[in-house]
Amino acid sequence: MKGYRLHIAETTLLLHPSGAAFWKEESTLFVADLHLGKSTTFRRGGIPIPAGSTTCTMDRLIDCIETLNASRLVVLGDLVHARCSWDKELQEGLARLSERLPKGNFLLVEGNHDLGSRSRWEDFSIERQVAPHPLGPWILLHDELTERPQASNDHRVYLAGHVHPAIKLRRFGETIRLRCFSLYNNCLTLAAFGSFTGAKTLDLSLGQQYFAIVDDEVISLT
């Protein structure tokens, strides 16, 4: 896999093809929007969705942690899809993840989908924080639109999720849609990490930078 090294906030983030961003200086992996247990929620609602997406997402995440030798994980919201997502697959997956992280190094900045699971985090040594949460040179958010402080002269750098960004590219009469990272107005929005999340196609905006995930590579489109 070939990531993209983004120089920002006087440091470097590796934008990884998985949708994660790795801060090597502090051995910290940022991810957003895993939506673990989403398929379980659908099945309990009578929609015949195959099982396995939670395990697939967890396998990818643990592989990413081990490949990059990350010792801290920060989830920028929507770790779990809903209160009714909790089943054996989800609990075993979070237990596997907790075992691989040093105590106190599993941080969740709560997203809107996480609110029904607040009583569960202590079982897995998950440290819960409310956005905006400062960490080193970053201000951590889930939803930039609702959580970013309003300021006319704000030069801080934000990391966020929630949007599940994607872009459409057209060439020779064909259109493809790619998951991406988006950087605009000092806010880096991560691609959704989950295997069963969907994506929102962004409108190309002046001054916005896009980093598209193409197979096993991240490519800057600016």
- Domains in the chain, CATH or no CATH each: 4-220 (3.60.21)
Span 66-92, pLDDT tens digits: 999 999 999 999 999 878 778 888 889
Between CA 142 and CA 148, with CA 147 as vertex, the angle to 5 degrees is 105
Q: Which of 69-83, 86-100, 111-125, 161-175 has the highest mean pLDDT?
A: 69-83
- Using the predicted structure, report yes or no on whether residue 26 has a pLDDT greater than 80: yes
- Using the predicted structure, report yes or no on whether residue 51 has a pLDDT greater than 70: no
Cα 36 from Cα 95, distance rounded (Å):
13
pLDDT band at 19 (very low <50, low <70, confident <90, very high): very high
User: Which pLDDT belongs to residue 206?
Assistant: 66
- What region does 162 belong to: left with phi over 0, alpha with psi -120 to 50, or beta? left
Helix (H, G, I), strand (E, B) or coil at 24: helix
pTM for the predicted model, two decimal places: 0.93
CA torsion sign for 155, 152, 164, 123 is positive
User: Which pLDDT belongs to residue 207?
Assistant: 75
pLDDT band at 42 (very low <50, low <70, confident <90, very high): low
pLDDT band at 65 (very low <50, low <70, confident <90, very high): very high
Cα 132 from Cα 142, distance rounded (Å):
8
Q: In what order do the strands lie in the sheet with 106-109?
A: 4-8, 11-15, 21-23, 28-31, 72-75, 106-109, 127-129
User: Which pLDDT belongs to residue 44?
Assistant: 61
Q: Give the mean pLDDT of the chain.
A: 89
| Burial degree of 100 (CB within 10 A; 0-12, 13-18, 19+) | middle
